[in-house]
């Protein structure tokens, strides 16, 4: 079985500040890792994914994440956030023959002027 | 189509009525998923269709829930005798193969009164 823990339910930051949203996972098999963003009243949009290869993954809107196998983490970072980044962010994991995505509870990122 | 289309976007129904939620996946995507998003519960897997294989129904919460996928394309999620605890956003997603990351629709917000 797999599980995902997003360590912060809410993260408030000021515009142009850096941000890190934390995600830890547990799995008994090799994993694929994903970050999704959900803007108000919209579906989830894929930000980035780790399938294999380089552990530093770059996604859309200037976000990146680093896969750390020893720490079972996949933290999401952005060096300078904008007001428009205000949204809920979900970390998800799948792996092996398990095609289902297991999601974390989400982190609400609020960017203040 | 260009994206995953869900209808209706909003549905208000009386307790005890049946509802049908529709999902049109991206053309050519063989995998289709239904998830439920509710406050405090995060994203819950409901059901998975892959090509002509038997669907994985392991996430359906009760026998009041059922889903079908006709011709390997459009899917309908049916909830019979709706209850207030069924109120949630029902999200459909599709992918061209498993473990590649899904494309989500905007969801159907179901309110049972």
pLDDT digits (tens, 9 = 90+) for B58-94: 999 999 999 999 887 899 999 999 999 999 999 999 9
C-beta of residue B30 within 8 angstroms of C-beta of residue B96: yes
- Testing the interface with A: which of B49, B92, B99 to mutate, by most A Cβ within 10 A? B99
pLDDT of amino acid A42: 83
B59 Ramachandran zone, left/alpha/beta (phi>0; psi -120 to 50): alpha
Maximal CA-CA distance, chain A: 45
The pLDDT tens digits of the residues spanning A65-113 come to: 999 999 999 999 999 999 999 999 999 998 766 678 889 999 999 999 9
pLDDT of amino acid B72: 77
pLDDT of amino acid B68: 95
pLDDT of amino acid A71: 93
- Is A43 in the B-facing interface, judged by CB distances under 8 Å? yes
The pLDDT tens digits of the residues spanning A9-28 come to: 999 999 999 999 999 999 87
Contacts of A65 (CB under 8 A, 6+ apart): A33, A35, A48, A50, A56, A57, A59, A74, A75, A76, A77
- Is B70 in the A-facing interface, judged by CB distances under 8 Å? no
pLDDT of amino acid B30: 87
Judged against a pLDDT cut of 80, whether residue A35 lies above it is answered with: yes
Q: How many CA atoms lie within 13 A of A62 on its CB side?
A: 11
pLDDT of amino acid B17: 98
| B100 contacts on A by Cβ (under 8 Å) | 49, 51
Judged against a pLDDT cut of 90, whether residue B1 lies above it is answered with: no
Average pLDDT, chain B: 91
The enclosing H or E element of B88 equals strand B88-95
Please tell me which residue of chain B has the smallest CA distance to A94.
B99
C-beta of residue A54 within 8 angstroms of C-beta of residue A108: no
pLDDT of amino acid A82: 97
Question: How many percent of chain B have pLDDT more than 70?
Answer: 96
The candidate with the shortest Cα–Cα distance to A100, out of B78, B62, B65, B56, is B56
CB contact under 8 A, A46 and B91: no
The candidate with the shortest Cα–Cα distance to B35, out of B96, B111, B108, is B108
Rounded to whole angstroms, how far apart are CA atoms A26 and A93?
9
Give the nearest partner residue to A103 out of B43, B59, B107, using CB atoms. B43
Give the nearest partner residue to A49 out of B43, B48, B101, using CB atoms. B101
Give the nearest partner residue to A46 out of B48, B101, B106, using CB atoms. B101
The enclosing H or E element of B102 equals none
Rounded to whole angstroms, how far apart are CA atoms A47 and A90?
10
Give the nearest partner residue to A44 out of B56, B99, B104, using CB atoms. B104
CB contact under 8 A, A44 and B91: yes
Interface of A with B in 77-96 (CB under 8 A): 90, 94-95
C-beta of residue B6 within 8 angstroms of C-beta of residue B66: no
**How would you label B75-111 residue by residue, b for 16+ Cβ within 10 Å and e otherwise?**
bebebeebeeebbbbbbbbbbeebbbbbbbbbbbbbe
C-beta of residue A34 within 8 angstroms of C-beta of residue A103: no
- Is B78 in the A-facing interface, judged by CB distances under 8 Å? no
Shortest alpha-carbon distance between residue B29 and chain A (Å): 14
| A41 contacts on B by Cβ (under 8 Å) | 106
């Amino acid at each position: 079985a797999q599980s995902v823990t997003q360590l912060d339910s809410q993260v408030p930051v000021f515009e142009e500040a850096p941000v890190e949203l934390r995600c830890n996972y547990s799995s008994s098999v090799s994993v694929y890792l994903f970050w999704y963003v959900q803007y108000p009243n919209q579906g989830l949009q894929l930000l980035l994914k780790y399938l294999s290869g380089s552990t530093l993954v770059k996604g859309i809107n200037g976000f990146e994440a680093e896969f750390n196998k020893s720490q079972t983490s996949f933290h999401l970072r952005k060096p300078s956030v904008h007001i428009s980044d205000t949204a809920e962010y979900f970390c998800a994991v799948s792996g092996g023959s398990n095609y289902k995505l297991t999601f974390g509870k989400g982190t609400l990122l609020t960017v203040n002027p | 189509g260009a994206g995953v289309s869900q209808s209706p976007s909003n549905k208000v129904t009386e307790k005890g009525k049946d509802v049908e939620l529709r999902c049109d996946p991206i053309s050519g995507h063989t995998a289709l998923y239904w998830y439920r998003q509710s406050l405090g519960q995060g994203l819950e897997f409901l059901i998975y269709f892959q090509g002509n294989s038997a669907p994985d129904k392991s996430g359906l919460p009760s026998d009041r829930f059922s889903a079908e996928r006709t011709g390997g394309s459009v899917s309908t999620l049916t909830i019979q005798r709706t209850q207030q605890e069924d109120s949630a956003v029902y999200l459909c997603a599709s992918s061209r193969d498993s473990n590649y990351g899904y494309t989500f629709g905007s969801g159907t917000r179901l309110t049972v009164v």
